[in-house]
Structure 1
Amino acid sequence: MEFYSQSRFSNWVNKIAETELDEDNPETFAVFDQMLEDVIIACLSIIRAVKEREIRKADAVKEVEKILGLIPNHDFGDELKNELFQFTLESIKAVLLSFRLYFEGKISKKSFEALLKDALKKEQSGDYEGSLNAVAQMGAKVIKGEQLPELDIPEDSAVISWIDGIDAISSVLELSKIDAPTE
């Protein structure tokens, strides 16, 4: 059972390459959000597979690791596309690490605000790995069902792209509740 493939990432890279970005038309940037949401949907499929006992949690962690290993690097020869692509890849990293923590059962008891404070403090000290992990802990809480509050994030922080991924998880989960068929 394959939840995500290299060719799926390649399709997104091709779609981004074909997209004409227009800074005056935010809708032209939707492809980046769609790529991020596609990864989240794949991860939600892994959760479903675990719940339906098709795979074990340990296998789910391996699947998430596999997707993490597929994250492409690409130069579009366009500064704006490259910047948005890198931002999206950082968001995807935060998403995948969140799902990994979720499958490992490592759900933090800290509040979202305390985790954000940790993330910002670690970022300032140059511990980007620790900072990303603090944000991923927020994501694991969201996946488990906690509501992501409004957070005040400095504009110049690397944390912002990771939080964007967590926010996307929250949005996709909300939409899946709306779209869920009523039994």
Structure 2
Amino acid sequence: MEWTDTMMLEENRPLQFFDPRRFNEGASVDSVKAVSARVLAVQGLSLLHASGRTNDEFSAALEILRGFRATGRRVVLCDTTRMAPGRQAGNSVVVRGGAGVVVSCGPHGRELAIGARDAGLDLASVVVCRDVKAACEALVHRLCPGDTVMLWGVEQETCNRLVMWLDRRFSEPTSAAA
């Protein structure tokens, strides 16, 4: 038993370690069903492409996102075209996933964004787009080196296109006049 910040006694839980070699095989996290996902490194960014559509897979992906050592922000792009997350999912993205920026699109993107706002994100950190292409473009212009991005519900082709855009954006030399 140990004291927590809520001044209650709780049992000590054993630590669970994440093995990145098993991640692409769909490793189980915190006894939640496995999530089919892959991790990509792009010009100083980490992309977590989680392709699952169920609530259990969503929970597992959020736990993995929270476990990432991000030097920058945690950013979530959610395409709601083939799923129907509500406000609770938007709240979970912020509270359980630790997201600092949420970009959503699709028919239920607005509900997800409202949940993220209700969880405490400011208006500038929540973006709702009509389609996934516009969401990817908005995401590309908001990212900085060191950010960790979770792509949830995004198709593989869109993920590949996003990687190409990010490579192009971060590989261009920029200079500032003094």
The answer, yes or no, to whether TM exceeds 0.5 is no
The TM-score with structure 2 as length reference comes to 0.28
Greater strand share, structure number = 2
The TM-score with structure 1 as length reference comes to 0.27
Greater helix share, structure number = 1
